[in-house]
Amino acid sequence: MKVFIEKIDTYDFEKIFNFLKSLTSLWQKLDGKQKILLKPNLLSAFSPEKAVTTHPMVLDVLITILKEKNKTIMIGDSPGGTTPVKKVWQETGMKELAEKHHIKLINFSKGGVVSKKAKTIEFNTSKYFWEADAVINVSKYKTHSLVSYTGAVKNLYGLIPGLKKSDFHRDYPDHIKFSKVLTELYSIAREKVTFNIMDGIVGMEGDGPSAGEPRNFGIIFAGESASAIDYIASRMMGFNPEKNQYITACLDLDNIKPDEIEIPTAWENFVFKKVKIKKVKTLVKILAYSPNFLQNAFRGLFRYYPDFNDKCELCNVCVESCPVQVIEIKEGDKTPTIDYKNCIKCMCCHELCPYQAVYIKKSFLAKFVIR
Ligand code: SF4
Ligand code: SF4
């Protein structure tokens, strides 16, 4: 299984075009398919410079190539939380792109769902995803505070409409349980994804997926298998992909052994220097595997929780997005208040705050465990 990798330092149309155009084996997969859905990462209303969402230039190039092939093109996603979708289209550059190319923007939260049962979980997924003749998954290369790394596989989480996504965070709160959700979703969605492109020209490190710092990784990935891309790309960030439950499980679903993934020789042993990684997962992992009495002891010693900084604009997005409704804004307060006793630490508030006003606060001892 091939993963194509190219060094591209800036959002230069021509360089991206030349790389994507050269992927003939991937383009051949679109032969005979007319209605093409592009599924970028449009997590919320962030401008492209924040590196939270797929950069519009990557989509611009893709659309240009698809138009040469006379395809009918749509861009679709279901952003998280309650930010109006129109604001997401506007901020992320999608509105401008759609107007330029006269293509349709699809809100996955509208237009109906198709219910699909995976091994243990039943998913309602956007009808548009299943109605397309082919889907190109166009993800963003980032760290993630719950599952460490987010890329091609995790991008498919956007197939679940609206706040339904928060319900899964509530019901599957730690990284092991949430990895199971991602794996089961991948088991039903993978057949529909024709190929994958991941934008790592400017990705994110640190407090990802939305409150981290942009990092110019200067790289773009492509391939048939989302899990193979994630295996290689997470390793390049300095993670051990063998220890990432959802990546290894999805690789199994794709029936790929790690040593069967082919990448260009120049990248074989490449690892980015000093990628800033929030290792919340270390703590969550300890908790998830420990017996109950130890879990309680650890929880007392190693506490981490979302808190607010002075960037808060009292926009109410976190209040409306919290799957267990434990955030409120009290009259006269400058930031919201969380009922920590009932907070399930899903980090939806952290993920969806449009102003990066939610950060992860750690107890004194947790600082030694969580980098
Ligand atoms: S923390 Fe403040 S700015 Fe962020 S979502 Fe909540 S209310 Fe809005
Ligand atoms: S307060 Fe934040 S972390 Fe806690 S349950 Fe609500 S959204 Fe999740």
pLDDT tens-digit profile of 138-159?
Answer: 999 999 988 889 999 999 999 9
Determine the pLDDT at residue 370: 45
pLDDT tens-digit profile of 279-315?
Answer: 554 555 555 555 666 666 665 665 678 899 999 999 9
C-alpha neighbours within 13 Å on the C-beta side of residue 68: 8
- Helix 94-101 to helix 85-92 angle (10° resolution) is 80
Tell me, what amino acid is at 6? Answer: E
pLDDT tens-digit profile of 166-218?
Answer: 788 778 877 888 999 999 999 999 999 999 999 999 999 998 898 899 999 99
The alpha carbon of 350 and the centre of ligand 1 are apart by a number of angstroms equal to: 9
**How far apart, in whole angstroms, are the C-alpha atoms of residue 278 and residue 294?**
23
The alpha carbon of 333 and the centre of ligand 1 are apart by a number of angstroms equal to: 12
**How far apart, in whole angstroms, are the C-alpha atoms of residue 77 and residue 135?**
12
- Cβ of 324 closer than 6 Å to ligand 2, yes or no, is yes
Mean pLDDT of the chain: 90
The DSSP result for 243-266, as a single string, is G-HHHHHHHHHTT--GGG-B--GG
**Residue 79 in tokens:** 């952003």
C-alpha neighbours within 13 Å on the C-beta side of residue 285: 14
Rounded mean pLDDT of 236-243?
Answer: 94
Q: Is 53 exposed, middle or buried (0-12, 13-18, 19+ CB in 10 A)?
A: buried
The 10 Å CB-count burial string (b at 16+, else e) for 248-282 is: bbbbeebebeeeebebeeebeeeeeeebbbbebbb
pLDDT above 90 (res 246): yes
pLDDT band at 371 (very low <50, low <70, confident <90, very high): very low
**How far apart, in whole angstroms, are the C-alpha atoms of residue 185 and residue 157?**
7
pLDDT tens-digit profile of 80-131?
Answer: 777 789 999 999 999 999 999 999 999 998 888 899 999 999 999 999 999 9
pLDDT above 90 (res 71): yes
Pick from 313, 347, 348, 360 the residue to mutate for probing ligand 1's pocket: most ligand atoms within 8 Å of its CB. Answer: 313
Question: How many CB atoms are located within 10 Å of the residue 8 CB?
Answer: 18
Q: Which phi and psi angles does 335 have, rounded to 5°?
A: -140, 160
> Cα angle vertex 339, ends 338, 341, to 5°?
135
Kindly report the pTM of this predicted structure.
0.83
Rounded mean pLDDT of 231-259?
Answer: 96
Q: Which domains are seen in the chain, by residue range?
A: 3-267 (3.40.50.11440), 280-369 (3.30.70.20)
pLDDT above 70 (res 74): yes
pLDDT above 50 (res 365): yes
Rounded mean pLDDT of 261-276?
Answer: 96
- Cβ of 326 closer than 6 Å to ligand 2, yes or no, is yes
